[in-house]
Structure 1
Amino acid sequence: MSHSLLIAFVMFAVVMFFTPGPNNIMLLSSGLTYGFRRTLPHVAGITIGFAFMIGAVGLGLGTIFITYPVLQTVLKYAGVAYLVYLAAAIAMSGPVAPDQDNRRGPMTFWGAAMFQWINAKGWVMVIGTITAYAGIAGFPWNIVIQVMLSLLLGTLSCSAWALFGSALRPVLTSPKAVRAFNIVMAALLLASLWPVFMDA
């Protein structure tokens, strides 16, 4: 195993997992709107869904996208459409009282897991992980290491962002403040689409 490559991969993963992106922005907003406990399925869906994607692409699913490049385009624009929808939903979200019936609710485990497949930043991370750090160990142990580190760092980063949002609940107490915060989060979510359009 290349220890220097392993260290480089961990540094890359820490930066990519902990910096703002669609997942982290949505977790921050969900933590504020619904609280940490109700956001846990969202956290688990991102963490497990992304790790599964690394494993699937690393074990050969990525060749499908090489063979049929139109699939990448379809996923990219489906992701854009879904992120615009999520941004609108976040912008309209207000504080939820514990006894309030809110039909939309936080993102589900499966919704968060499936979102990874249309998340532009997620694909950048997967491609960077699989291609740049393939020599971290022999196949298939390199994929196993990447998946396990993704599960660990994903759990830490997703929990941290959701907890940060939840910690803001005592500070942002008025409905107007929560709505203003969510509008800013929605704007940041839309801003995260800029690299997609630059690549178009």
Structure 2
Amino acid sequence: MNITSFLIYCIIVTFTPGPTNIVILSTVHHFGTKKAMEYTYGATIAFGILLVISAMLNTVLIEIIPKILIVMQIIGSLYIFYLAYQICKRDSSKPGITETGTFRSGFLMQFLNPKVVLFTMTVIPSFIMPYYTAMPAVTISVFAITLIGFLAFITWVLFGTIFKKFLQNHSKIVNVMMALFLAYSGIMIWL
């Protein structure tokens, strides 16, 4: 497995602005760190649950239909390219979510967040299953990805104000760099 591509993909997808990160940022600004952490715990647990569901579904599918891996790799790489395109054209100077942060809202939002759902359903078949199918390896991978997600959420809590200003001041450069890294990850799925 190409660890570099895997880590770049996980870090870019989890650290870039998305619905969860924007709500965390808004919660920090409006209700403080304590409320944002409550929301973050809920989001992290749901993120981990989605990864477990993905790992279980993909483990069953890979045993039943080995050729489905190619389809999943295609879907995964197309999704990565789609994310790269979306990040490249994104205007991060227009925040729009002002929801209060609770554990429950953080938990439920993950199941409604297309970025998270698609990420959890593509990262396992694209980066883990081609190389590891044993349950201990898949479990370690799920924990590692969940930890990366949690670290991304914490980053938005701790450095939200600074990160938001940086993105606003340099949004085009940051977006292009992240898009290029994502495109690299999409290409590396096939190498």
The answer to whether the superposition gives a TM-score over 0.5 is yes
Show CA shifts across 1:129-166 (max 9, x none): 12201124233234313321122212211011122336
Paired residue for 1:97? Answer: none
**Are 2:10 and 1:16 equivalent residues in the alignment?**
no
* Equivalent in the alignment of 2:114: 120
Which of 154, 159, 166 in structure 2 is aligned with 1:164? 159
Kindly provide the amino acid, as one letter, of the partner of residue 48 in structure 2.
A
Q: Partners of 1:53 and 1:139 in 2: how far apart? A: 19
Out of 131, 134, 141, which is 1:146 matched to? Answer: 141
Compared with structure 1, are the counterparts of its residues 54 and 110 closer, same or farther at alpha carbon in structure 2 (3 Å cutoff)? same
RMSD: 2.9
Any unmatched runs of 5+ in structure 1? Answer: 64-86, 91-104, 172-200
| d(CA) in 1 for partners of 2:54, 2:45 | 14
Give the alignment's TM-score, normalised by structure 2: 0.59
Question: Aligned residues: percent identity?
Answer: 23
For 2:59 and 2:30, locate their aligned partners in 1 and report how far apart those are by CA, in whole Å. 36
Pair 121,130 (structure 1): closer, same or farther in 2 beyond 3 Å: same
The match for 1:30 among 4, 27, 32 is 27
- 1:135 is paired with a residue whose SS is coil
Answering whether residue 56 of structure 2 is matched by residue 59 of structure 1, we say yes
Whether the 8 Å contact between 1:30 and 1:106 is mirrored in structure 2 is yes
Asked if the contact 1:30–1:165 (Cα under 8 Å) also holds between the matched residues in 2, the reply is no
Q: Cα distance, 1:59 vs. partner?
A: 0.7
Structure 1 29/52 Cα, relative in aligned 2: closer, same or farther at 3 Å?
Answer: same
CA distance in 1 between partners of 2:19 and 2:40 (Å): 13
Q: Which string of whole-angstrom CA distances, capped at 9 and with x for unpartnered residues, describes residues 89-132 of structure 1?
A: 71xxxxxxxxxxxxxx8322122112211111012211221220
Letter of the structure 1 residue corresponding to residue 33 of structure 2: F
| Counterpart contact for 1:27–1:43, Cα < 8 Å | yes
**TM-score of the superposition, structure 1-length normalised?**
0.56
- Deviation at residue 15 of structure 1 after TM alignment: 0.7
Residue 112 and residue 61 in structure 1: after superposition, are their counterparts in 2 closer, same or farther (change >3 A)? farther
Distance of 1:106 and 1:119 partners within structure 2: 16
Write the distance in 1 (CA, Å) between the matches of 2:29 and 2:126.
Answer: 36
